Every structure is written in C-alpha cells, then in structure tokens.
Homo-oligomer: A and B are copies of this chain.
Amino acid sequence: MSLLAVGTLAYDDVYTPFGEVKQIEAGSCTYIAMAATYFAQPVQLVSVIGGDYNDAFLADLERRGADLEGVEVIPDGKSFYWAGRYHDDMMGRDTLDTQLNVLADFDPKVPESYRNTDYVMLGNLTPSVQSRVIDQMAHRPKLIALDTMNFWMDVALDDLKEVLKRIDVLIINDEEARQLSGELSLLTAAAKIVEMGPKILIIKKGEHGALLFEEDKVFYAPALLLAKVVDPTGAGDTFAGGLVGYLAATDDLSFENLKRAVIYGSAMASFVVEDFGTRRMQNLDREQIDARVARFVELMNVSL
C-alpha cells in the first residue's frame, strides 16, 4: 500500500555533547519518509522547499521509494531552517534559531495521483494546514495519523481540535497528552483525548517507551536501552514513519498489528538516534530492522 506523508523538508544545525552538524537535510517529512520507505512504497510526499534544497538528497529519497510530485519548489525561496543545542544530559534542548522561510506561506497541494491513497501521515504542522490536506483527499482514507506539538495547543487549539475530529491515530508525547487533556494521569488523559476524535492514541515517552490505547486496550512498548544517544532529533518523526509505514505495508488495523507497528516504529527510532540526522537510517536493511525488533520483544518477554 502507498502512504501519503505531509511535513517539512528542512535544514538543521544540531549541537550535542557528541559533536555538531550544520545544514543537514532534516525535517519531519524527511524522517517519516526515510523510515516508512523501508516498509511501504511509494511514500507520497507533500511538502515545500526553496531553490536551495539538495537535489542529490531528493534523488536519494526518490530512489528509496519516495514520490516527490507533491513537493512544491519555490525557486527563489529558502527552505525551512532550524538550529538547536542539546543539553549535556541530552534530556532537553534549546532552540537556537527557527527560520520558517518557504514554510511561512505553505499551502499544501495534494496531487491528483495521491488523492486515493489509503494511509496518511500528517507530520507536525499548523493544524489548519493538516486539515487542508484531508480536504483534498478524494475519499476518506482508511487511516489518518497525526503528529502535533504543545505549541499548537497554545496558539491554535481550536484548529487543532477541528482536525482531531477527522483523524484515526494521534501520536504525541506524554507532556503534550497532559497539556491537551488537562490530566496528570496518562490513563485519564487518554480517555479524554479519545473523546476528541482519534480512536487510537499513541503516547511517546522518549527513553521510557510508548503507550498505545484503543478502546479499553492498552499496550506498553519499552524503548531499547542504548549505550549512546548521539542525536535525538527526528526520533518522533522516525517512530511515526516506521509505525504508519508498517501499517500501510501490512494493511491490518487490528490491535495486535497496531502493537507490532509500535514496535517497528520504536525500532526505527532506536536506529536514528545513534547518529546525526538521518545518517544511521540511510543504510539499513530489513534483516537489521527485524533483528532489532526481536530485541524489543525479548526485552519484554515474560511468562507466568
């Protein structure tokens, strides 16, 4: 099955205690697409870039199975740029610079050839932009997943609540779940959020794993223990890309398969943080991914 992915194609500068990188290709759409193409192809991108974007990097994405028809190029514009510095304990980070550039006026255009796609991943963007993507679909997709962040809860809560009514899977972190619901307990938070629209909720807890909720069912996937996290940027997008890519590939929305998708997403995220940007994800094969998935399953295997 094909997958439609909306998000940013960006340049990042990233500083961590382990080093720094400048002007690397990043952004939610990049991470989602690179993770998802390991499972589902084509991954149809909807994004916007300036004339400055790296053609070779785009060609590589295409070679992996990305469809770039929906990537709008503004020849005299500059691509979205973000710079951040991680703290010494890697637990937090400070944004040093954000330049929206071509993203400021982004009006997503879904090409005709994407409009019947059954699996849609809406990366973190202005909620009204996410809505405009759904508007353009020819029919209701089988599954619409959405990522967002606390910033939109602060400045565009009504728009966010509108788009939440139209999706199936919400993927957010624990802080965001608490803010969106106004509840401390993630169990109570989940119940409130599900009432807002998405029948499936995934709460990411970083190094503590991820929770999957659907109706009265809950699943807890641990995070893999890593000796060294070099760069956590993009981990959440990679998780989402692996997860939705796996669902599109298997075309099975049972709770059992959702659990597997969470593990595959977690496995992809566990790779990407081992190096800067998308580097670690560029040369994987399915055998390596499956071996890592097996480590997750082993980590949580118990019999009474």
Contact = CB atoms under 8 A, between A and B. Distances in A.
A300 interface: yes
B220 A299 contact: yes
A90 interface: yes
A18 to B, nearest CB: 11
Contact of A208 (B188, B209, B228, B294): B209
A104 interface: no
A256 B304 CA distance: 9
A89 interface: yes
A187 interface: yes
A227 B302 contact: no
A184 B90 contact: yes
Nearest to A262: B302
A222 B221 CA distance: 8
A185 interface: yes
A21 interface: no
A221 B304 CA distance: 13
A245 to B, nearest CB: 16
Contacts of A294: 304
B303 A225 contact: no
A292 interface: no
Given A89-B184, A209-B222, 9 more contacts: A185-B225, A185-B228, A188-B227, A218-B299, A220-B222, A220-B300, A222-B300, A294-B304, A297-B302
